Amino acid sequence: MNDPNAMPVAPPTMIASEIFWTSRHAPGHPLAIPRVSLTIDLCRTLGWLPPGCYLEAKPASIAELLRFHTADYVAAVRQAEARQHATEEDRQRFNLGVNGNPVYGEVFRRPAMACGASLAAARRLRHGGIVYNPAGGTHHGQPARASGYCIFNDPVLAILALLDQGLPRVAYVDFDAHFGDGVQQAFHDEPRVLTISVHEDGRWPMRRNDATTGFGGRDDRAGGAARNLPVPEGFNDSELAFLVGNAIVPLLRQFNPSAIVVQCGADALADDPTTKLALSNGALWAAVAALKALSARLLVLGGGGYNPWAVARCWTGLWAMLNGFPSPARLPGPAADLLRAVRWNHRLGRAPAERWFTTLVDPPHQGPVRPAIRSLADSALG
């Protein structure tokens, strides 16, 4: 399925920015933990970012943000950062400063940088290759509304940029525990884009009665351009492997994408405090590895994830997989020290598991493939 016109490419590239070290989300927010910075620091400590493999991002321009977002919304976010508060009108109209979308020091610049990284990745993929933006994956962002901790929607902007290059088909695969609603809505009825989302059944922005025909349910196909796989609590490694092998890979082979954008939220991991799924990080790495072989262009994004150690270990191992680096059985001292230095004001952070400091690879969470999972695969292909 690789593009015969793709040119020989360099090793995978990681794109990020200093802003993810120098800024922090609003105090007390689930995202006010080191994620991108800790991931990159861990990769560097392990010797996995050789010269030439890291690219400093630039923020998306206003014009680039307006490719998807409305002018009045972008202006409102800029004004909220300048004033350090949102007006009552902007709270009501744009969902800024409320509902998990607080105003903080870099509420415009930080999301704009994540979008700039994804746009730079799309440009870099013109002739093929693999690019990794761990700050990306803000899949809930709406054209004129903040949603689900997402101010802007970098996956949508990246996909639009790939289409603008003349690519005939782009596939988006979302492994976050939350339904990738903003991306599906952006490409509703767009035959050039296939969106596939694996997410916890009933988890926001779904509703409990949406599992079959509702928003994000298995029969929600967005005019034919989407497939949704809402999975039950306790979703295990064996079940993800089954869905990848029996639904996602066949769908992608049939669609034959010129590029794949994959969102790798770490909130579906068993160690995440916010969801009820039970994956190991190795299951997510294996899923992305299966997609890696299906297109000449692969853009890998971050996403959710609210345990700093689980996120950093997962996303670091993902970078290792993309490069073919072997994961050590036990982390060397400097890497372990880096992880031990993290402080997380959560009950899990006050009594962290020792393996979060000493290992990169989670213990596997194999289990039975339940009938509901088999039914999901059948319905996706039907």
Q: Residue 373 corresponds to which tokens in the numbers above? A: 């999972």
Helix (H) / strand (E) element for 55: namely strand 54-56
69, 140, 178, 365: the catalytic one is: 140
Q: For the chain, state the CA radius of gyration.
A: 19
Residue recorded with tokens 């890979």? 249
DSSP state of 273: S
Query: Given CA atoms 323, 377, 301, 168 in this order, what sign does their dihedral have?
Result: positive
Among the listed residues 292, 263, 68, the one whose alpha carbon sits nearest the alpha carbon of residue 161: 68
Stretch (H or E) spanning 50: none
Contacts (Cβ under 8 Å, ≥6 apart) of 16 = 36, 40, 54, 56, 57, 117, 133, 134, 135
* Runs of H (alpha helix) within the chain: 19-22, 36-45, 62-65, 71-83, 88-94, 109-124, 154-164, 181-186, 237-243, 249-255, 281-292, 308-323, 333-340, 347-350, 355-358, 371-381
DSSP structural state of residue 30: T
- Structure tokens of 350? 């006050």
Report the C-alpha gap between 349 and 36 in whole angstroms: 18
382: which 2 tokens?
Answer: 């039907």
Sequence length of the chain is 382
Sign of CA dihedral 267, 36, 110, 22: positive
**The pair of three-digit structure tokens given for residue 169, joined into one six-digit string:** 């088909």
Active-site annotation holds for 140: yes
Distance (Å, whole) CA 161 – CA 126: 10
Q: Are 173 and 196 in contact (CB under 8 A)?
A: yes
Structure tokens at 351: 């009594």
Which are the catalytic amino acids? 140
